[in-house]
């Protein structure tokens, strides 16, 4: 009876696992089924690099929004990645573990704050500050980058902390025995040993940033144009889908699904790279 119970639990867990994968497969099939026809009709090159998005005129070029997404994501990584990695180094290497165990969960609570709250803070506080001190409307790439950089901090910092803590303490002892200082040990030994996990945290943060919607809608300005400055208002791919899907029909609706196909592929590539890096050894090369 006990053996039957264990087997039953195994089969149940296997069923649940495969049901999750099956749900993901159905989502992927639905998105590709709706989006691929217009990509094949217009051509991938035209869809990606045409500069005019005018659904009423039958023009479906996502290049301005693609560039805007890259600008905002790159800006978010400039803000979030250095802060996250520096915070992880400080918590693991320079503060007592008891303090780190208190601060780390507090930082991770940021991941549970709804993105609309970040967007609201950006609209009410950050955008007016940028408008007053730097010019422009305030709803811009700079505002969106700062907000998204803050939102990805928990991801970057949490995974970086785990990667740094996974480095054996014997590496540090060996470095100290050779006369290295604390910072030299961190810089030349610990970070090199943990680099695969740190890079993975950056890539996962990048995936979070490029897929964010609500905060970007509120803070980026939603202007469909190729940006020339960090103070320009832009519309990202995710914001375009969210703003227009409610009333889109026909080819317009297919074009929005095709945009989702592009995002799906990009994020899957980023997650795959991150998974490979996470599984890599944390020990430095001999």
- Kindly report, residue by residue over 60-84, the tens digit of the pLDDT: 999 999 999 999 999 999 999 999 9
pLDDT tier for residue 56 given thresholds of 50, 70 and 90? confident
Total domain count, the chain: 1
In this predicted structure, which of 6-15, 98-107, 169-178 has the lowest mean pLDDT? 6-15
For residue 8, pLDDT over 80 is answered with no
Is the pLDDT at 285 greater than 50? The verdict is: no
In a domain, 1, yes or no: no
Average pLDDT over residues 51-58: 88
User: Residue 248, class by beta-carbon neighbours within 10 Å (0-12 exposed, 13-18 middle, 19+ buried)?
Assistant: middle
* Mean local confidence (pLDDT), 26-55: 90
| Location of structure tokens 């600008």 | 71
CATH of the domain at 270: 1.10.3720.10
CB < 8 Å & 24+ apart, contacts of 221-229? 221/137, 221/139, 221/140, 222/139, 224/53, 224/64, 224/65, 225/64, 226/51, 226/63, 226/64, 226/67, 226/68, 227/67, 227/68, 227/71, 227/141, 229/136, 229/141
Predicted confidence at residue 4, as pLDDT, reads 56
Q: Reply yes or no on whether the pLDDT at 227 is more than 50.
A: yes
Q: Produce one character per residue of 40-62: b if its CB has 16 or more CB atoms within 10 Å, e if not.
A: eebeeeebeebeebebeeeebbb
227-231 average pLDDT score: 91
Domain membership of residue 154 (yes or no) is: yes
Which 3 state secondary structure label does DSSP give 246?
Answer: coil
Is pLDDT above 80 for 283? no
Question: pLDDT tens across 104-122, in order?
Answer: 888 888 888 888 999 999 9
Give mean pLDDT, residues 37-49: 90
Confidence of residue 2 (pLDDT cuts 50, 70, 90): low
> What pLDDT score does 122 carry?
92
Report pLDDT for 217.
Answer: 93
d(CA 249, CA 124): 34
The answer, yes or no, to whether residue 100 has pLDDT greater than 80, is: yes
Domain containing 55 equals: 49-279
- For range 25-52, the mean pLDDT: 90
- Work out the average pLDDT over 246-261: 91
DSSP string, 253-267: HHHHHHHHHHHHHHH
Q: What is the pLDDT of residue 7?
A: 76
Q: Please compute the mean of the pLDDT values over residues 257-281 and round it to a whole number.
A: 81
State the average pLDDT for the chain: 87
Residue 24 in any domain: the answer is: no
């Amino acid at each position: 009876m006990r053996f039957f119970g264990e087997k039953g639990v195994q089969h149940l867990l296997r069923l649940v696992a495969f049901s999750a994968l099956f749900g993901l497969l159905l989502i992927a099939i639905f998105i590709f089924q709706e989006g691929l026809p217009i990509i094949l009709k217009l051509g991938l090159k035209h869809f990606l690099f045409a500069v005019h998005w005018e659904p009423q005129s039958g023009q479906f070029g996502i290049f301005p929004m693609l560039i805007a997404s890259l600008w905002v994501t790159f800006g978010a990584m400039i803000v979030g990645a250095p802060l996250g990695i520096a915070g992880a180094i400080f918590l693991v290497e320079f503060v007592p573990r008891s303090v780190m165990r208190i601060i780390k969960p507090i930082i991770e609570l940021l991941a549970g704050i709804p993105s609309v709250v970040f967007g609201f803070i950006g609209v009410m506080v950050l955008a007016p500050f940028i408008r007053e001190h730097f010019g422009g409307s305030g709803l811009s790439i700079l505002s969106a980058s700062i907000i998204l950089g803050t939102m990805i901090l928990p991801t970057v910092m949490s995974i970086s902390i785990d990667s740094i803590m996974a480095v054996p303490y014997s590496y540090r002892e060996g470095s100290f025995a050779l006369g290295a200082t604390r910072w030299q040990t961190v810089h030349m030994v610990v970070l090199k040993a943990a680099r695969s996990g740190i890079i993975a945290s950056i890539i996962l943060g990048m995936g979070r940033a490029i897929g964010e919607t609500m905060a970007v809608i509120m803070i980026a300005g939603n202007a469909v144009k190729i940006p020339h400055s960090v103070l320009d208002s832009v519309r990202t791919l995710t914001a375009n889908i969210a703003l227009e899907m409610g009333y889109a029909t026909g080819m317009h609706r297919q074009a929005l699904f095709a945009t989702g196909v592009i995002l799906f592929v990009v994020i899957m590539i980023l997650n795959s790279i991150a998974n490979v890096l996470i599984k890599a050894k944390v020990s430095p090369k001999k």
